[in-house]
Amino acid sequence: MRTIDWIDDAVVIVDQTRLPGETVYLRLTTVEALVDAIQRLAVRGAPALGVAGAFGVALAARQYADPAALDKAVRLVAEARPTAVNLARGVHRAATRLPSFDNVLNEARKLRDEEITSSAEMARRGADLVLELCGPAPRLLTHCNAGGLATVVEGTALAVVFELHRRGALAGVIASETRPLLQGARLTAWELGRAGVPHRLAVDSAGPFLMARGEVDAVILGADRICANGDVVNKVGSYAHALGARAAGIPFICVAPETTVDPDTPSGDRVEIEDRGAAEVTGTTAPPGTAAVNPAFDVTPAALVTAIVTDTRIWRPSQAAAQPPVEPIKA
């Protein structure tokens, strides 16, 4: 199953808002429908957003002949969400092939295929690293969803988990539920269950305590943007897990393709963090009218990152960064 693809003249995605209850495929034939799907997280996760962005340019090329209208549509896709660098990057890569629809579509398909190859590379390299750092039968904790649903197939951090499981080398995984939209509870638990990986779900705030209690050998998660200095921007809650890992003395490993590494952003304080508004936080539980702050992502400083595994290398930013005391990121 591919999370996103181009089939019969449409972008076809698995609607992630319907999981785990129902597996529903959406056929998106216009830029506006794709942007809506991105903004309501029907398609999500950095590498999947990159592919969505590139296919979005193909939709735009087919929909708009007028150069100004085409340019506007392309920008609409690139700016649908601000934090994951893959989205704008996927758009810009495909847009270099405009105005030819065929050339744009070929470039988007190339990116899709490269992300599939990347997942396999990260799986192999990441599994070797986890075993080197943790020894046999590691117990891992992951946050948000960095599986096949966040890429095209297999994933980034979960690709490593699946590879360890295939090797018979994994004790189990704790998935943190990922408030407020519960990508861990809804999506990661679903993917781990389908693959037969032993797993348990925990509330986000339990992570650092479980690490302190010696129940986790490493934290492994994905990224939405990796800055030039090694700061890791990922789903809100990642920073708390990184602090917990440092306090417990266990590795904090980020797994992401090179398409998520952004040499043009020097550090995490330069990244626009999407705020998704109060309703996702207050839901129906808070008193009506309660104000809320809802950053969808946070920044883990390079000093807390043991290793970043990409499809081409292992990067150890904390070796170059200052060691404790660890400064929190300033807004």
The residue from 31, 91, 111, 144 that contacts ligand MRU (CB under 6 A) is 144
Q: Do the beta carbons of residue 35 and residue 76 sit within 8 Å?
A: yes
The 189-228 site mask, x for binding ligand MRU (CB under 6 A), equals: --------------------------------xxxx----
CB of 319 to ligand MRU, least distance (A): 23
Least separation, in Å, of the C-beta of 84 and ligand MRU? 6
Which residue type, as a one-letter code, is found at position 301?
Answer: P
Query: Looking at beta carbons only, is 221 or 304 nearer to ligand MRU?
Result: 221
Q: Is 220 exposed, middle or buried (0-12, 13-18, 19+ CB in 10 A)?
A: buried
Q: 34, 37, 46, 95: which one contacts ligand MRU (CB under 6 A)? A: 46
DSSP character for 185? Answer: I
Question: What's the burial of 327, exposed, middle or buried (CB within 10 Å: 0-12/13-18/19+)?
Answer: exposed
CA distance 142 to 175: 5
User: Residue 155 has which token pair?
Assistant: 């994933």
CB of 238 to ligand MRU, least distance (A): 7
Query: Applying CB under 6 A, which of residues 44, 125, 165, 241 lies at the interface with ligand MRU?
Result: 44
Residue 156 near ligand MRU by CB under 6 A: yes
* DSSP assignments along 203-261, one per residue: -GGGHHHHHHTT--SEEEE--SEEETT--EEEETTHHHHHHHHHHHT--EEEE--GGGE
Q: Which of 204, 224, 298, 311 is catalytic?
A: 224
Residue nearest to ligand MRU (CB): 222
Of the listed pieces 44-52, 105-113, 122-130, 320-328, which binds ligand MRU according to CB under 6 A? 44-52
Out of 42, 45, 112, 190, point to the residue binding ligand MRU (CB under 6 A): 45
Which secondary-structure segment (H or E) carries 139?
strand 139-143
In the complex, least distance from residue 181 CB atom to ligand MRU, rounded to whole angstroms: 7
**Closer to ligand MRU by Cβ: residue 4 or 105:** 4
Query: Whose structure tokens read 């999506």?
Result: 187
User: What residues between 50 and 79 interact with ligand MRU by CB under 6 A?
Assistant: none
Nearest to 115 by CA among 166, 52, 191, 175: 52
Stretch that binds ligand MRU, among 38-46, 129-137, 195-203, 298-306 (CB under 6 A): 38-46
How far is 87 from 93, CA to CA, in rounded Å? 10
The residue (of 146 and 250) whose beta carbon lies closer to ligand MRU is 146
Question: Is there a contact between 294 and 281 (Cβ–Cβ < 8 Å)?
Answer: yes
Q: Is 224 designated active site? A: yes
List binders of ligand MRU among 219-278 (CB under 6 A): 221-224, 234-235
Residue 296 contacts ligand MRU per CB under 6 A:
yes
Phi then psi for 7, rounded to 5 degrees? -135, 130
Residue positions annotated with a catalytic role: 224
Instruction: Kindly list the residues in this chain that would bind ligand MRU in the complex (CB under 6 A).
Output: 41, 44-47, 84, 144, 146, 150-151, 155-156, 183, 221-224, 234-235, 296
